[in-house]
Chain A
C-alpha cells in the first residue's frame, strides 16, 4: 500500500515564493515605464507580434502576443480574422499576460519525499521526475494493466497526455466539462436533434429576433463570440427574454426578465410548449416536415397550462403567454439558448430536452437567427502506429448506470480509483493536466479518498493550484504564450484554423505539454508514437495536408476556409437530422428503451428550510473558474467574490454592506473563509449568489489565498442525472454565520 498522501504546501519549502522574475519585475508593477507616452510624443516600442490562441478559457480566441525587445509580453490583442473574437479579446484574454508574469508560477519539477517523518516536496531535475513517472507507470501496467492509468484534463495540454495514455493502452481520459458542466445539454440535444450545439455554440445570435436565456448569463460568462453577437442583436432590436432568479447582466438588457423560483424551470418550459401548441402558434410547416412524435407531445403537455406553471414558478400566466407569443412572432429566427453549465438538479437532460423541443416547435434549428449548421476543417492526424486496444475502459466503470453518457464521467473514474475487494476495474494512477479537481469536483471526501489510494499521482500545471499539493510529482508546464500546441480547428459558421506558437522562450524550468508527454512516452518505449523532435514538425505536416505552410500561418495566425455546405437548411432539400430516423424526436424512444421518461416531466425539488437560502453560483466576466484568481492583471478588477443577498434578507439577519460572514450549508459544512456581503436588489429573497472560483486555501497562490469563498466546498449534496451521470449542484442551501466559527486548522 502506498504511503498516505499528506497535503503539502509548496510554499513551505522556501521555493516558488521568490519575487518577480528578472527584468519583468519592475516593469510589470510599473515602477519604471519604458517610454513617457502620456506626452503623446512617442509610441510604445513593441518588438514583434506572435500568433497565439488564448488558453484562459475554452473559447480559445486567436490573437497576437506583442513582445518587447527584451522578451517580455506587453499586450495580447485579438486576431481580426478569427470569427470567434473578431480582433477583440475578452478581459481574460487581454489579461492573459498576467498568467505569464504570475510570480507564483510553478518553476521546477517537484517530487514528494519524506524528511524526518514529514512529507515534503523537493526540487528535482526533469530527468529524475520523468524517470520516476515512467517507472511507476510500468509497475502499474505490470501489476494491474495499462488501463489502470487515468487522465483528468481540461484545455489544450490534455490532448498531448491523451496521446500518451492511448499509446500506453488506456482510454480512461476524462474532463469535468462533461459531467460537471455541459453534459446534460449535449445529451438532451443529441436525443432530440441527433447532435449537440457544440463548442463554440452554433447559435445564430447575431441574426436572431428573439433569444431566451434560461439561467444562462451571457456577458458574465464571457464566451466572447456569444457576447459580441448578443451586443449585435441588441443593436438590431432583438427581444431578449431572461429566466433567472437573479437580475443578471443579460437580464438587465432584456425586454422580459422572469425572476423564476429556482429549480422550477422545467415547469415554465413545459407551459411554453403548451401555449405554442394549444394556442396554435408553433411552426407547423417545420414540425410536419422535420419532426415526429408531435401528437404524443401534444397529449403530454395538455395539462401544463400557464396557470399550472404559475403556482410552481411564480411567473404570472399572462407573462408566460406573452413571452411565448414573442417567440412565435420571431420564429424561426428565435433561440431558446441551450446554456452551457447545465448540471443543476439531476433532471437536467430532461430540462435540456424541453429546451430542444421548444426550439424544434419554433423551427429554429437550421434557420437564420436560430441554430445554424456548422462546418469545420478536417486536420489529418500525424501518422503514428495504431493504438493498442484496452481490455476495458471508462464505460466499464459505469456498472450499468448512466446508459446515455457519450463521454466519460469524472466521478465514476474517481469511484473506480477507490480500492474495493473484488473490484474488477480499478484505477491506480492519475495524470491531472490543467484542471484543479479540488475546486472543480463536488464530493471532496470521495475525491480525497481516491487520491489517497493511488499508486501514482502526477499533476501538470502552470500554477500551484490546490491539486498540486496531493501529487507525487508536480511538473511545471509553461503557459500558452511559451509553447506550440495543436492547431485550433473550429467548426462554426466558417471553418477556421488557428496557430499557437511560442511568443517567448519558457521561463524557469517549465516545459510544454507535448515535450513532457513525449519524454514520458519515450521512457515507456512508446517512442514510435512520437516520431518528431519538435511539435512544430507535426503542425507543419498537418498544415501541408490542407495546402498551407507553417511560415504562412506564422504570418497570418488564423486562416478561414470557404464553406462547402449551406449554413442553413435549404427548404427545398430533403434535410435529414442525425437522429436514428432522420427526424427531430419529440418523443424519445431511446430514453424510453433505457427506462426513462420519453418526454420531459416536471418534478419538484427540495426547497431551503427556514433560514437557509439556495446557493446559486456563476461566473464573472474577468475570471475563468479558479484559474484566474491569482492573475495580477485580473484581480485588480475583482479581487474576491461576494455573497449577494436581497435587502430584505440582509435586514432580517442584520447584515450590512461589505460585512464579512461565513456560509454554512445544510450538512453543517462551514466555508473555509469568510465572504463579503453584497446587499442588492438583483437577487431573490430565497437565494444567494456567489461567483465560482474563489476561496483558495493553497498558500502558494500568494494573492488568491483566503480571498472569498469557494462554492464547491459548500456543495456536499449532488443530484446525479441518471441518464448521463451529470452531477446536479444547485440543490445546496446555506445560511449565514456572523462570528468566526471554531474549527480545526485547515491544511
Chain B
C-alpha cells in the first residue's frame, strides 16, 4: 500500500518537476505550481461554459448525462478556484522579495498545495460522476452543498479553510520575520477577512432568508470587497516591479483604494438584500453604497494609466503591462459600469435573476480578476525563463500575446453584450409586461431576440476559447530562445 502511495505521489510531483527552476526562489517555485493548475482550471471553466451555452441552443444536448446544472456548476466553480489559485500563487510569488525573508513554512505550503489540488480533483469527480444525492445531511457533507458558487461539499470546505490557514500562516509569519510594508500590512489584514468570511457559508439553515443573508457575506464580501483589495495589493506590487513606480505613491493609492472599496463595498452588500425577505431599509443602504462602488475602480484606472504614462510605458514586461491596463479598464467597466446599471432597486426589481446578471458576471469576473492573474502569469514566465527580455521587439512582433489578449477581450465583451440583450428582453417581456409567471418566463426564453442572443453568446464563447488556446501556447513558448536580459529599470527609491 505504502509502495503504491509513494509511487503515485512520485508521479504527481514529477508533473510539477519543471517548477524546480534555478531562476526561482522557494515561493516562486510553489507559485508556479499554483499557476499551472490555475491554467488547467481556466481551460475547464471555458469548456464547461461552452457545454452549458450549447444547451441553451439545443436543450437535448447531453440531457440526462451531463445536465445544464452540472456544467454550469463546474463552469462557475472552476472559475472561483482558478482565480483563487492565481491569487495564492501571486502572493507566494512576491512574498520573499516583499518581506526580504525566506518563506517560513515552505514545506507546509507545498503540502497544502497538493492537499488542495487533490481535494479539488475529488470534488470535480464527484460533481461529474455522482452529481446529486438524497435530501440528507450526508449529501451536503460529501456530494454537493447546492448553494451557488460554494457548492463544494462540507468536507472540502474544511479542507479549504485548513489550507488557507497554512497559507495565511506563511504570509503573516514570513512578513513578521522579514519586514512589513504598506502592501504587506493591507494584504495580511485582507487575508484574515477573506478566510474568516468563508466560514459564513459553512453551515446549514432551513430559513432560506437567513441562509441567503449569510451566503451573500461570502459571495459579495469576497468579490466586491476582499478580492478587490487583494488584487489592489497585487497590482501595487506589479506596478513597482513592471514600471519601477515609487513605493510611496503606490502605497498611498492602495490606502485610498482600501478606504473607497471597503467604504462602499461593505455596506454595498445591501444590494443583495432587496428581495430575499430582509427589511426594506436595505433599499436605501444597498442602493446608496453600491452606487458608490465604481468610484474606487475609477481610481484604479487613473492610478495605473497615470503611472504607466509617467514612466513613458517603459515596462519590463509588455504583455503583463497590457494585461494590467486591461484589468483596470475591465474592472471599471465590468464590475463598475455593468454593476451600477442594475444596482438600484427600482431597476433591479426587473433585472434581478435574469441574463442581465449573467452579462455582468461574465465581464466583471474576467475584467476584474482573470486579467490580473494572466498579467502575473506573464511575469512568472519571464522569471522562469531566466528574467529575459519581454518588452517591445519580441520575435514575430509578439503576435501571439497580442492576438490572445485581443481575442480574449473581444470574446468576453461579445458574450457580455449578447447576454445583456437577452437580459433586456427578459426584463421587459417576462418581468415588466407579463408579470414573471412561468408562462412569462418561457415566453421570454423562446423569443427570437433571446434565441439569437444565445447563439451569439456561443459564437463569442468560441472566440474566447480561441484566445485562451493562443494564451496557453504563448505562455509555453514566450522567451524561449531569448538571449537579451530583461529591461533594467531605474528605481526612484
A and B physically associate:
no
Chain A positions within 8 Å of B, measured between CB atoms, are none
